[in-house]
């Protein structure tokens, strides 16, 4: 079994829209774990045709208005279970889970296949580092193709099924997977990892205590931040199993698996529109002064004005000063050794003042910025006059 199949009664929830089953997709007993690939405009999904039949991979094309009827991926499907697809951003590599498949290490393993024209290459087992003798399933590949998240009940976890991640090295090999930690994983089941890249959010489902019942959706910020606890998506969770989500082709649209309202079906693929306000905000990255470099601020011979494009280090400096309102700075202007000392002194003072005036335009108070002209007295490089026509900025002891 690749996934959960224990339906409960679902309740309505306050969203931008209630989940709406997509008629042209829900033609079989059970359909779930949708994965929409924007590059190909295809929706990949897992289908079970009857109550006790095996799971198979299907694909349905989106024409901008509706989906074609799902068709089986014959190059992938075998006699046993295949499902929970995930594709690279370009749509050329498919990752999926399969049980008792050729070259299996035991139970269910993860496989990959490459797109070749209108078909797929013979699936390749991801190897003994990714796959164990235990259960591996529900892979999700990051948008850059360098991280593979999946669920497994292998040794070393915190409970039943945990979420793990493997990093791809420079030679294209998957490294030994690491457990993502006990803030995401619990002593219950964690499944269905999914990166919502455009929101910098990592989604997954968990059956840990405190939810609404069965598996519930949770979110945490992505890249995953050590020590930060996930939050339940209360407006999306129900008393049913909630797992399997994918970004859709329309603004704020998503595809989810949901308990069917039709007696002859168990799970359907539904579309839902979710307000962006539901997602966690990306963490604010505070600027460290030590990370700023001002070498890009240079001047033409005998010139003091800042030329376009103005180096972005000055905007970052302004942000730093706004984040640290009690901090002041010293700006030093420098020249090369061409010309007399008096002229160079005046020129260096004008260069420092030009930077000060730009920072004032960006909202920094003038009394926090101190300037000094150094003339040509402190060359940085004796043989490189361009590098000597420069600005140096230091934090001022307050």
CA distance 271 to 85: 18
Kindly give, in sequence order, each residue whose CB lies less than 8 Å from that of residue 283, ignoring residues fewer than 6 positions away.
Answer: 221, 225
Contact 270/256 with Cβ under 8 angstroms? yes
Give the ranges where the chain is alpha helix by DSSP (H). Answer: 313-323, 341-361, 385-388
Phi, psi values for residue 86, rounded to 5°: -150, 135
Q: Of 17, 54, 25, 15, nearest to 267 (Cα)? A: 25
How high is the pLDDT of residue 337?
86
How high is the pLDDT of residue 261?
93
Could you tell me the two tokens for 140? 């999700």
CA–CA–CA angle 80, 32, 231 (5° rounding): 125
Query: How is 342-363 classified by DSSP, letter by letter?
Result: HHHHHHHHHHHHHHHHHHHHTT
Q: Kind of pairing, strands 178-179 and 190-196?
A: unpaired
Contact 86/140 with Cβ under 8 angstroms? yes
CA distance 223 to 283: 10
Kindly give, in sequence order, each residue whose CB lies less than 8 Å from that of residue 171, ignoring residues fewer than 6 positions away.
Answer: none
Domains contained in the chain, CATH given: 20-278 (2.120.10.30), 289-396 (3.30.1330.60)
Could you tell me the two tokens for 289? 């002064």
Could you tell me the two tokens for 118? 């209108």
How high is the pLDDT of residue 10?
35
Phi, psi values for residue 316, rounded to 5°: -65, -35
> Could you count the other beta carbons within 10 Å of the beta carbon of residue 114?
14
Contact 349/376 with Cβ under 8 angstroms? no
Contact 122/113 with Cβ under 8 angstroms? yes
pLDDT tens-digit profile, the chain (398 residues) = 555 433 333 333 447 778 999 999 999 999 999 999 999 999 999 999 999 899 999 999 999 999 999 999 999 999 899 999 999 999 999 999 999 998 899 889 999 999 999 999 999 999 999 999 999 999 999 999 999 999 999 999 999 999 999 999 999 999 999 999 999 999 999 999 999 999 999 999 999 998 898 999 999 999 998 889 999 999 999 999 999 999 999 999 999 999 999 999 999 999 999 999 999 987 677 889 999 999 889 888 889 999 888 999 999 999 999 989 999 999 999 998 888 999 999 999 999 999 999 999 999 999 999 999 999 888 887 767 888 888 999 999 86
């Amino acid at each position: 079994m690749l996934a959960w199949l224990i339906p409960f009664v679902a309740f309505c929830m306050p969203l931008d829209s209630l989940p709406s089953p997509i008629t042209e997709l829900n033609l079989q007993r059970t359909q779930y774990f949708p994965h929409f690939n924007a590059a190909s405009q295809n929706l990949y999904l897992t289908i079970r045709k009857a109550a006790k039949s095996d799971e198979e991979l299907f694909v349905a094309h989106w024409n901008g208005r509706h989906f074609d009827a799902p068709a089986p991926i014959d190059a992938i499907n075998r006699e046993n279970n295949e499902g929970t697809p995930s594709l690279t951003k370009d749509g050329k590599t498919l990752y999926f889970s399969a049980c008792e498949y050729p070259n299996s290490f035991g139970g269910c393993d993860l496989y990959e296949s490459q797109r070749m024209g209108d078909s797929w290459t013979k699936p390749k087992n991801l190897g003994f580092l990714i796959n164990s003798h235990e259960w591996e399933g529900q892979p999700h590949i990051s948008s850059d193709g360098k991280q593979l998240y999946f669920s497994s009940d292998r040794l070393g976890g915190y409970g039943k099924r945990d979420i793990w991640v493997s990093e791809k090295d420079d030679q294209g090999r998957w490294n030994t997977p690491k457990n993502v930690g006990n803030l995401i994983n619990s002593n219950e089941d964690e499944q269905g990892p999914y990166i919502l890249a455009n929101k910098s959010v990592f989604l997954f489902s968990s059956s840990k205590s405190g939810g609404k019942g069965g598996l519930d959706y949770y979110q945490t910020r992505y890249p995953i931040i050590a020590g930060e606890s996930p939050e339940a998506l209360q407006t999306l969770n129900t008393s049913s199993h909630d797992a399997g989500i994918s970004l859709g082709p329309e603004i704020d649209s998503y595809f989810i698996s949901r308990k069917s309202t039709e007696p002859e079906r168990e799970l359907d693929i539904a579309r839902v529109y979710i307000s962006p306000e539901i997602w966690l905000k990306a963490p604010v990255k505070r600027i460290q002064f030590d990370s700023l470099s001002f070498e890009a601020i240079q001047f033409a011979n005998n010139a003091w004005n800042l030329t376009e494009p103005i180096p972005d280090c000055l905007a970052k400096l302004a942000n730093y000063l706004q984040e640290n309102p009690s901090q002041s700075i010293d700006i030093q202007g420098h020249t090369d050794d061409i010309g007399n000392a008096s002229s160079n002194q005046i020129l260096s003072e004008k260069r420092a003042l030009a930077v000060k005036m730009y920072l004032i335009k960006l909202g920094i108070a003038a009394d926090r910025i101190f300037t000094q002209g150094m003339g040509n007295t402190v060359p940085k490089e004796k043989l490189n006059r361009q590098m000597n026509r420069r600005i140096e900025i230091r934090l001022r002891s307050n």
